[in-house]
């Protein structure tokens, strides 16, 4: 069973549909008991960093996320869900993130000819043998929608990058914690392979 955390700020249904397509049992929930008994947990997210952290704290989901992470249960953050796992974001000064991983979330720099937010398909530069990217070769294309990006503190946890105005850490993995800045649930067969790899952990 995979629990998809519901905090009124996520692209929940598209994640659920992708997992169901893969034959995975999943539930959209904010119930502590359901989240804790799940085999794996996904934190999706769209919207602003500050609003999302406010919602997580309102429902006290920040506490259960830390408990699940401490139990070494596979945990996947998607898009804003990746950003929330870090210390904080330039988008919301003074708002503390979940800080399960070390790094900062920065605004994508303005550059002539490039639109912000970065919306569309980018090819990933895979590195450091990420478990989410098994059975994918070359530079797989995935779908992004974001104005802020991750700069992780530890290079070793970075499993995929892109270059869009700057060097962006697009996916990370450390122990049981995984995260993608892109949307695997909107990335066609490549995204389904990534979600399948997570489900099989």
**Domain coordinates of the chain in residue numbers?**
2-199
pLDDT for position 25: 98
pLDDT for position 114: 93
Q: Cα–Cα distance between 63 and 61 in angstroms, integer? A: 5
If one looks up domain 2-199 in CATH, what number appears?
Answer: 3.40.50.880
Helices within 10-135 (DSSP H only): 12-21, 32-37, 49-58, 61-70, 80-84
Out of 79, 146, 173, 180, the active site residue is 79
Residue 183 a catalytic site member:
yes
Residue 26 a catalytic site member:
no
Closest by CA position to 11, among listed 146, 103, 194: 146
Regions of the chain with pLDDT less than 50: none
SS3 118: strand
Out of 16, 146, 169, 183, the active site residue is 183
């Amino acid at each position: 069973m995979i629990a998809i955390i519901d905090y009124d700020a996520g692209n929940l249904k598209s994640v659920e549909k992708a997992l169901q397509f893969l034959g995975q049992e999943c539930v959209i929930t904010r119930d502590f008991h359901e989240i804790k008994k799940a085999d794996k947990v996904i934190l999706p997210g769209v919207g602003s960093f500050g609003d999302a952290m406010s919602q997580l704290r309102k429902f006290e989901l920040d506490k259960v996320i830390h408990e699940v992470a401490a139990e070494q249960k596979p945990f996947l953050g998607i898009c804003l869900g990746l950003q929330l796992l870090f210390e904080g974001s330039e988008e919301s000064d003074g708002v503390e993130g979940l800080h399960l991983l070390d790094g900062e979330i920065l605004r994508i720099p303005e550059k002539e000819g490039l639109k912000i937010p970065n919306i569309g398909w980018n090819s990933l530069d895979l590195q450091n043998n990420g478990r989410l990217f098994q059975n994918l070769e070359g530079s797989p294309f995935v779908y992004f929608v974001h104005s802020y990006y991750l700069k992780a503190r530890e290079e070793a946890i970075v499993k995929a990058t892109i270059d869009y105005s700057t060097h962006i850490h697009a996916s990370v993995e450390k122990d049981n914690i995984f995260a993608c800045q892109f949307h695997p649930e909107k990335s066609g067969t490549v995204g389904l392979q990534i979600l399948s790899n997570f489900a099989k952990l």
